[in-house]
């Protein structure tokens, strides 16, 4: 039996019109302190985006979420947030927002492989 460890995740949502509170899921961010794992996986369906709002630009949202990936990876281009510890980066990315890109409350779980868990949650809630 493999060693299971705790993790936390949040679902990333696009909220085209914040005042209407309508949204659709576009990604997942997952953090495991013990495994030193932080990653995000996302996919923005252009068709869904157009159905919700013809005013939003897919490229702008995609670029914004690419910056989340840079922060997860701690890349030099990720700015001050990318220099923080993994847990702090996760908390910053998963913090409540009242913008077009939001995340759900965080949820806990147990897994053996955080990358596989990220893929499974993504498949279940986004695709």
pTM (whole model) above 0.85: yes
* Per-residue pLDDT band at 1 (split at 50, 70, 90): low
Proportion of the chain above pLDDT 70, given as a percent: 99
**Domain-by-domain residue ranges, the chain?**
5-125
Give the residue among 41, 64, 51 at the shortest CA–CA distance from 16. Answer: 51
Task: Give percent of the chain with pLDDT exceeding 90.
Answer: 84
Per residue in 11-68, pLDDT tens? 999 998 888 888 999 999 999 999 999 999 999 999 999 998 888 899 999 999 999 9
Burial class (CB in 10 A: 0-12, 13-18, 19+), 32: buried
pLDDT tens digit string along 77-121?
A: 999 999 999 999 999 999 988 889 999 999 999 999 999 999 999
Contact 35, 18 (CB under 8 A): no
């Amino acid at each position: 039996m493999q060693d299971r460890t705790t993790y936390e995740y949040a679902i990333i949502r696009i909220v085209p019109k914040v005042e209407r509170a309508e949204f659709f899921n576009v990604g997942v961010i997952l953090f495991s302190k013990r495994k030193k794992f932080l990653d995000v996986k996302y996919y923005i369906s252009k068709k869904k985006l157009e159905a919700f709002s013809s005013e939003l630009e897919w490229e702008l949202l995609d670029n914004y979420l690419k910056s989340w990936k840079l922060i997860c990876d701690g890349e030099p281009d990720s700015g001050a947030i990318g220099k923080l510890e993994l847990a702090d980066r996760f908390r910053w990315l998963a913090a409540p927002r009242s913008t077009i890109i939001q995340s759900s409350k965080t949820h806990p779980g147990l897994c053996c492989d955080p990358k596989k868990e990220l893929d499974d949650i993504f498949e279940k809630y986004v695709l």
